[in-house]
Amino acid sequence: MSDAQSYEWKDYRLNDLGELSTSSVDKKIELSEQPVSLINYMDVYRHDFIGRSMPLMQVTATASEVERFQVQTGDVLFTPSSETPDDIGHAALVTEEIPNALHSYHTVRFRQSPRRPINGRYGGHIFKQRRFREYVGRRSTGSTRYTLSLTELGGAPVSVPPEGEQSVIAQILDTLDTQIRQTEALVAKLETVKQGLLTDLLTRGIDENGQLRSPHEEAPELYKDSPLGPIPMEWEIAFVGDLGEVVTGSTPPSSDPKAWGDAFPFFTPGDVIDYEPMQSAERAISDMGRRHIREIPGGSTLVVCIGSTIGKVGFTSRSGATNQQINAVLPSKAWDEFFVFQAIRTYVHQIHVWAGLQAVPIVNKSTFSQMLVPHPKLEEQRSISEKLRAVDRRIADEREAIRKLFEQKKGLMDDLLTGRVRVTPFIGTAKAAQTSRV
């Protein structure tokens, strides 16, 4: 074979490259069987790579099942079913030997033939090829849940580059994956820091020097008792009804199609989120629909007060409307809007107690208005809000970085996993880097 030919990609069907098999191992524990680790559907769905560090379910299996369904380095596991066709066929590569690890009956194992044209960690990326993903989506069948047969999966097209290109492509995509994981870990850490800071700010506040007051345990003379626990001497306690106006939403009649459009969002419990300001909703109201509702300005705090999601709290960044399951708090000028949101979010457990006394979770406007929150002076409210907004801005920046990394990875996968962009000029550099690490 010439050098030029050796650098060409080759097209296969999955069955040409190895063997597909299902499993009969379930999540049960039987005393007569031996203990094993089980790789489940969600382990495959959520990960591109599976190794010893991943926590696995502990179950039991027969000796025959252990022999037939154990996984080994280089195996690829697939999810053969999903609620939608485009979400079927997720793949995860087993990167190392995992003692007594079996794949579950909800997964399919692919084991390459000895000639192994797919090498190393490239096996964790190759099945994200667009042609492969589109094929498994088209060939799945079902109505409420879609499945893909072994025959159809075995016929899936796979384009395999030369070994050198596989290594470079895997290195590039692995590098992006590492950046994504590190940034996600940073966001999780910042969320933890924010929660601790929120608790401190809403119980200790900020002194005249712009610093957190000493904790109650260290300086009890700075605090006084209240229904919410110790609060700074300078603070008071307020009812939610004293923060401004409390408005219960309403829904435009379905008989008036002209009430619905795109003028401003119509918030329902499913739209309420607490990790960023709310700008949009699944449905929107037209200008003509305004006559049916009470418009809520941006800067309002929304609280779900009816149903299974009672106690969800959100903050609007633009005007809109809500349905009757939501009470909106429109703060007066004596209150900082963002402080009101954070205070209600922190002390919303009060309405859970009230709702728990009834068969159907519900807290009416009158009762909701009796909820208690701390009341610092306006200047301190603003200082507290600014510290929390600073953390939120940092979290938002990191989330945006994650979004951009995913977009970059998606574009690279389209280019690299199809051969549209070749990485042959970097093969020598990649080999040299591998050699230096050895």
**Per-block mean pLDDT, blocks of 10 residues, the chain (438 long):** 54 94 94 95 95 95 96 96 93 95 96 86 91 94 92 94 90 94 96 94 95 96 96 97 96 86 92 90 90 92 94 95 96 96 96 80 94 97 96 94 94 89 70 46
Cα gap 113→15, rounded to integer Å: 10
Phi-psi region of 14 (alpha: psi -120 to 50; beta: other; left: phi over 0): alpha
Phi, psi of 99 (to 5 degrees): -55, 130
List of long-range contacts for 112-115, beta carbons under 8 Å, 24+ apart? 112/17, 112/18, 112/74, 113/17, 113/18, 113/19
Separation of alpha carbons 400 and 317, rounded Å: 18
Give me the pLDDT at residue 7, please.
61
pLDDT at 83: 92
Alpha carbon distance 108, 117 (integer Å): 20
pLDDT at 431: 52
Tens digits of residue pLDDT in 304-335? 999 989 999 999 999 999 999 999 999 999 99
**What was the pLDDT predicted at 436?**
46
Residue 381's H or E segment, with its range, is: helix 378-416
194: alpha, beta or left? (left if phi > 0; alpha if psi -120 to 50): alpha
pLDDT at 205: 96
**Angle formed at CA 357 by CA 269 and CA 239, multiple of 5 degrees:** 65
Write the DSSP symbol of residue 358.
S
Query: What are residue 265's DSSP bridge partners?
Result: 284
Pairing status of strand 101-103 against strand 57-61: unpaired
pLDDT given for residue 358 in this prediction:
67
Which has the closest alpha carbon to 249: 340, 368, 116, 96?
A: 368
Torsion sign, CA atoms 327, 296, 394, 273: positive
Which pTM value belongs to this model?
Answer: 0.77
Distance from C-alpha of 62 to C-alpha of 412, rounded to nearest angstrom = 44
**DSSP secondary structure letters along 382-436:** HHHHHHHHHHHHHHHHHHHHHHHHHHHHHHHHHHHTTTSS--GGGHHHHHHHHHH
Pair 43, 122: CB distance under 8 Å: no
CB-count burial class (<10 Å; 0-12, 13-18, 19+) for 262 = exposed
* Domains of the chain from N-terminus onward: 9-160 (3.90.220.20), 161-227+378-427 (1.10.287.1120), 236-375 (3.90.220.20)
- Beta bridge partners, 316, equal 278
Q: What is the pLDDT of residue 331?
A: 97
Q: What is the pLDDT of residue 305?
A: 95
Quote the strand ranges of 272-420, DSSP E: 283-285, 301-304, 313-315, 321-322, 326-331, 372-375
Dig out the tokens for 412 from the structure.
């690279």
